[in-house]
Amino acid sequence: MLKKRIIPSLLLKGNGLYKTTKFSNPIYLGDAINVAKIFNAKEVDELMLFDIDSSKLNKAPNFSLIKDIASSCFMPLTYGGGIETIENAKKIFKSGIEKIALNTALFKKPRLVKELSDYFGRQSIVASLNVKRDLFGRYIVVNNSLKKCYDGRLPDLLLELTEAGAGEIFINDVDRDGTLKGYDINLAKLVCSNSGLPVSFCGGASSFEDIKEVLFEGGVSGAVAGSLFVFSGPRKAVLISYPSSDDIQKIISSDER
């Protein structure tokens, strides 16, 4: 049967890798290619790469870096950041990326999802959403500068994106980013029950238990984490890690619960 996925998420800035807290205070982790090689050696299920400068600074993706990372990775890669045209997307796929994630462009160029999906197939298009709580605790969708960018309800947006041709939903929980507080299981459930697509979920993971919880109670297909796989200890020393195959067996065999 299909196995649940455990996915490190890496943030690119220039040629370096960083980790943020609540989308701010980026901490430098190391050279992007080296870190990707370490994750490849650990046989991770998948890697997600996000260029946190591309959209903000309106820059095209860093194609040469993406190509170098892809050539040392023998697992699926998702890339997000600065993709606004079919031509850019073509170059990304050609460099060895399987899936592209759209975030800013979802709201800036609403027709792009359909265009990309028609051309490359829905399975290669990930709709990436930053979710936050407003003052009343309601879930809102925000852009990378944390400004609200969608007025309707989250379930309606999920439906719209599915109909437009997205093949996967990626949720980035801004309030829990880098906090090690555990995943918001209610948000995971809300997204899964309102989407027929695979859902990958990021924000707050601090332990394998958290991962198990979001996969089986939350119902997501992919548990995504940053800090958990790049830091060690309370002082956040940089240490690249990933569960061993025995640990993965314990996490993803749901019948052991």
Partner 1 sequence: MEIIIIDTGMANVGSVSNMIRYLGFQCTVSNDINLIKNADKLILPGVGSFDEGMLALKNSHLLDCLIEEVITNRKPILGICLGMQLMTKGSEEGKIPGLGWFDAETKKFDSTYLGQKRIVPHMGWNSVKASKHLELFDGFENSSKFYFVHSYYVDAYNSSEILCTTEYGEKFVSGLNKDNIFGVQFHPEKSHRYGMNLLKSFIELEC
Interface with partner 1 includes 98 (CB under 8 A)? yes
Q: How many residues make contact with partner 1 (CB under 8 A)?
A: 37
Which helix (DSSP H) or strand (DSSP E) does residue 167 occupy?
none
Residues 29-68 contacting partner 1, CB under 8 A: 43, 45-46, 67
Beta strands in the chain (DSSP E): 5-13, 16-21, 24-31, 47-51, 77-80, 99-102, 125-133, 139-142, 168-173, 199-202, 222-225, 231-232, 237-238
Among 27, 33, 75, 180, indicate the residue that binds partner 1 (CB under 8 A): 75
Q: Which stretch binds partner 1 (CB under 8 A): 87-95, 106-114, 131-139, 152-160?
A: 87-95
Residues 168-197 contacting partner 1, CB under 8 A: 168, 196-197
Please, what is the minimum distance in Å from the beta carbon of residue 59 to partner 1?
22
Please, what is the minimum distance in Å from the beta carbon of residue 77 to partner 1?
8
Provide the Cα torsion 192, 156, 138, 134; round to 10°: 120
Count CB neighbours of 182 within 10 A.
17
Spatial distance between the Cα atoms of 133 and 142, rounded to a whole number of angstroms: 10
- Pick between residue 94 and residue 138 the one whose CB is nearest to partner 1: 94
111-150 mask for partner 1 (x: CB under 8 A)? -------xxxxxxx--------------------------
Please, what is the minimum distance in Å from the beta carbon of residue 118 to partner 1?
7
Pairing of strands 125-133, 99-102: parallel
Among 16, 26, 30, 96, indicate the residue that binds partner 1 (CB under 8 A): 96
Interface with partner 1 includes 99 (CB under 8 A)? yes
Spatial distance between the Cα atoms of 10 and 73, rounded to a whole number of angstroms: 14
Among 26, 76, 155, 182, indicate the residue that binds partner 1 (CB under 8 A): 76
SS3 9: strand
Q: Which stretch binds partner 1 (CB under 8 A): 72-80, 142-150, 177-185, 202-210?
A: 72-80
* Inter-axis angle of helices 154-164 and 112-120, nearest 10: 40
206-245 mask for partner 1 (x: CB under 8 A)? ---------------xx-----------------------
Spatial distance between the Cα atoms of 211 and 108, rounded to a whole number of angstroms: 33
Please, what is the minimum distance in Å from the beta carbon of residue 148 to partner 1?
29
- Pick between residue 26 and residue 96 the one whose CB is nearest to partner 1: 96
Task: Specify which residues 12 forms β-bridges with.
Answer: 17, 51
CA distances from 184 to 79, 88, 91, 243 (A): 24, 34, 35, 21
Residue numbers of the site for partner 1 (CB under 8 A)? 1-5, 43, 45-46, 67, 70-71, 74-77, 90, 93-99, 118-124, 167-168, 196-198, 221-222
